[in-house]
Amino acid sequence: MLISIVIPVKNEGRHIRQCIAGWLGQTLPVHEIIVIDSGSTDDTLSIVAEFPQVRVIEIDGSQFNHGTTRNVAVAETTGGLVMMTVGDARPFDDQVLERLSACFDDDAVAGVCGLQVVPHDVDKNPTEWFRPYSEPTITTYHYPAGQYDELPPEQKHQATGWDDVVAMYRGEVLRNQIPFREITYGEDVQWAQEAYRAGYALKFCPTARVYHYHLEDADVTFKRAITMYYLRYRMFGVEPTPPPLWLPLLTATKTLLKERGLSIGQRMRWMKHNLSNRLALRSAFRRFHTALSAGSDHVENLHQEFTGKQFKVKSS
């Protein structure tokens, strides 16, 4: 099947050249790449123009929505498979598309999700660098009609860890049957839930990897944790558990000490960074747990306080 790639962007001038070049360098040919730009003010569009294989759609930044903006681009695709990624991600190797597309070996499969990993770059947290410890295997989830919604919250969450940074969709399903919803965020997770409810199977292929990383300080870590606790509770009914503190820090410290290429100053910097972020995670848990104990209105208020957004999902 022909492969279309959709990349939503805004001010991705630092990364977009590597992103596009990486997808064009795959072992499988790319039928088309559609970049949908929501108001870049840097050199993103001039860089994209270097690639004649890429078509650009421009929208006003005020119109951006994680779900409907992607739908605008998807509607322009013609490939039997549609790959979703982002402008600051790049393929791990030249076989990502090959590995993902090979998973569509059954008409019941509506989508395949890959894995984000962190490159061994000096400006990335060394404790998060990708270090495979075992041979990964493909996992398939498929539920008879009505069974998905009967699963315990944790099982729902496990089966629906979908990620549009590296996900491939059956084009017919995405274009004509289950488009993304208009949603504040979490369009990928919402889509996966609806795919299960429609009787489709989803696969997770951890050997299909992309490099993707955001360096987060304690403040960003806190807000992201609030967002993730909220999304998991809202979509799956999962209540957070206290994040551990000392064991992850001990493991991270051992990792830093083993990395011979790091200076003492770099090790100290990342130790301090990891401690601050672990404390931020625990603080976010306490705030969310307190709000949850007080009732759903308090949870909604907490989410809005730290994200500045009211979570909305438009009905199909």
The per-residue pLDDT for 145 is: 81
Which of the listed CATH numbers 3.40.50.720, 3.40.50.2300, 3.40.50.1400, 3.90.550.10 matches domain 3-211? Answer: 3.90.550.10
pLDDT of residue 60: 95
> Is the backbone of residue 146 left (phi > 0), alpha (psi -120 to 50) or beta?
left
Neighbours of 273 (CB within 10 A): 18
Overall size of the chain counted in residues = 316
pLDDT by residue for the chain (316 residues), tens digit each?
999 999 999 999 999 999 999 999 999 999 999 999 999 999 999 999 999 999 999 999 999 999 999 999 999 999 999 999 999 999 999 999 999 999 999 999 999 999 999 999 999 999 999 999 888 999 999 998 889 999 999 999 999 999 999 999 999 999 999 999 999 999 999 999 999 999 999 999 999 999 999 999 999 999 999 999 999 999 999 999 999 999 999 999 999 999 999 999 999 999 999 999 999 999 999 999 999 999 999 999 999 999 998 899 987 6
Sign of the torsion angle spanned by Cα atoms 209, 214, 217, 223: negative
pLDDT at 212: 98
239 touches 233 (CB < 8 A): yes
pTM of this prediction? 0.95
Tokens of 212: 């993707």
Q: CA 284, CA 208: separation in Å to the nearest integer?
A: 32
Residues forming a β-bridge with 54:
33
Furthest-apart CA atoms within the chain: distance in Å: 57
pLDDT of residue 128: 97
CA 14 to chain centre: 19
- In this structure, the dihedral spanned by the alpha carbons of residues 21, 180, 141 and 169, taken in order and rounded to 10 degrees, is -40
Q: What is the helix (H) or strand (E) element at residue 34, kind and residue range? A: strand 32-37
Cβ burial of 316 (10 Å; 0-12, 13-18, 19+) is exposed
pLDDT of residue 281: 98
User: 37 near 44, Cβ under 8 Å?
Assistant: yes
